[in-house]
Homo-oligomer: A and B are copies of this chain.
Amino acid sequence: MIKVVVLGSGNVASHLIRAFSESNETAIVQVFSRHPVSYGNIPVTGDYGALLPADLYLIAVADDAIAEVSRMLPFEGRLVAHTSGSVALRETDGRNRRGVFYPLQSFSKSRNIDFATVPLCLETEHEADYSLLQQVAESISGQVYQVGSEQRRSLHLSAVFVNNFVNHLYHIGEQLCTENGLPFDILRPLIAETAAKITGIPPSEAQTGPARRHDNTTLLKHREQLQSHPLYLLLYSLFTESIQKSE
């Protein structure tokens, strides 16, 4: 059994702990949390001095606390990986062997995620450490990728576009419905189909709509409808331009 200590008790830590508890190859031997938490039989500590020996320490804390937590570890030469998409490998303390274990998914405590499908993006400072990190990753997911810090930065940026910005477009759709006395439910099948469509064809081929068709009459009507939403109007114009430039 590979022994893992998880530091943190937020969204990512909780999902990781659940996933590892179903693995036969990896065991969480301890969880570190600043505040009291309970994860079944797993020992929890809030004291860096009481950290147990392990093959891997996974730092799943807020981005701006990762470096600090890595400096608090009272040992050296051990494998320590963080789970962030936007923190470089070299930002953690150099006394330990550095790694990254970035799960490319959107986690919240209220939603279950099938970890087997979560892409895990791995990086290690020392090549010799990669196979252990890979073994740990493969014990919970079928999607394991070797991704350098530079690549991970772009991946995190891409994730902002396809997750945060897409969700904001859903919000705009909801708002336009509500303002016009329509239930948001009416848009749900279209939202589902839009996401499903690109499993078969690339997004560039799936692109439709008045911008792509250069349907200037509709583009003009839509701009008029958005007069009372100046920011959405700007977004509309920018998307139209960007879609037409991508042809």
Q: Which residues of A contact B (CB under 8 A)?
A: 63-64, 86, 104-106, 108, 110-111, 113, 117-119, 121, 143, 145, 147, 150-151, 153-155, 157-174, 176-177, 179-182, 184, 186-195, 197-204, 206-212, 215, 217-218, 221-222, 225-226, 231-232, 234-236, 238-239, 241-243, 245-246
On chain B, the residues within 8 Å of A189 by CB distance are 104-105, 117-119, 143
Knowing A159-B190, A176-B158 are in contact, say whether A167-B203 is a contact too (CB < 8 A). Answer: yes
Are A209 and B163 in contact, CB atoms less than 8 angstroms apart? yes
- Specify which of B147, B160, B198 is in contact with A167 (CB 8 Å cutoff): B198
- Specify which of B158, B176, B180, B243 is in contact with A173 (CB 8 Å cutoff): B158
The contact sample of 10 A-B pairs, CB cut-off 8 A, is: A154-B225, A158-B172, A159-B173, A160-B209, A163-B190, A165-B169, A165-B239, A166-B166, A168-B246, A235-B242
**What is the CA–CA distance of A110 and B181 in the complex, to the nearest angstrom?**
34
On chain B, the residues within 8 Å of A194 by CB distance are 106, 162-163, 166-167, 195
Q: A119-B186, A169-B169 are in contact. List 19 more A-B contacts (CB 8 A).
A: A104-B189, A143-B189, A145-B182, A150-B180, A155-B182, A155-B187, A157-B222, A162-B170, A163-B209, A167-B206, A167-B207, A167-B208, A184-B202, A191-B195, A191-B198, A192-B195, A231-B238, A235-B242, A238-B238
**What is the CA–CA distance of A42 and B177 in the complex, to the nearest angstrom?**
38
